Amino acid sequence: MFLPRALVLCLALTVLAVAPARGAGQSLSLGAYKELRNDYVKVTDIKERERTEERYMDAGGKVTLQKVPYKEVLVTAELAQKPPSNMETMFGGESNQPFLRICMTPFDSAGKALDDTCQAFKFQSFVRGNVGTTTFRLEPGTARYEFRMVQPQGDKGSAIKLWVPTK
């Protein structure tokens, strides 16, 4: 049975809308995220964790270096198949391969969607089964968040391939 990609995306967003966020350092229910996949990448784990960074803060007219906590979400994915290669994607980096990206939509406490952010998964090599990660930093007013995968688009025209790498 073949479902249109728009329907699959709507189903995934509906499932994600009802999934509550967990405490820091805990993995979120992967049952809610099983639709986070496309032809090339499959999400295997999503974990929220608390981190700290050192920042100079003004305390009573004196600037001191303090550790400030923040939350981030670590998303782990596995390559389902080797992505297609051409000269532009080989030498342009991972940002030129949009199907290796995931997007997060944060929501405030009133339920209003904030600006989307998209991150590319970082893989050491593009080999089937390789595991890659990406992180999203949560802003202080974020009450919940949803993820969506970037789906590959069909060819918009014919490109001239000068050289195709072999396996």
- Domain locations along the chain: 21-149
pTM score, whole prediction = 0.65
Confidence band, pLDDT 50/70/90 cuts, at residue 125 = confident
Q: Convert the pLDDT of each residue in 79-93 to its tens digit.
A: 988 887 755 555 555
User: What's the fold here for domain 21-149?
Assistant: Coagulation Factor XIII; Chain A, domain 1 (2.70.50)
Q: Give the phi and the psi of residue 4 in degrees, each rounded to 5.
A: -60, 145
Where residue 158 falls among pLDDT bands split at 50, 70, 90? low
CA distance readout (Å), 4 to 49, 88, 114, 146, 152? 35, 29, 27, 21, 13
d(CA 38, CA 151): 6
- Separation CA 93–CA 87 (nearest Å): 11
**Strand ordering across the sheet containing 62-79:** 41-59, 62-79, 131-138
The residues near 112 (Cβ < 8 Å, ≥ 6 apart) are none
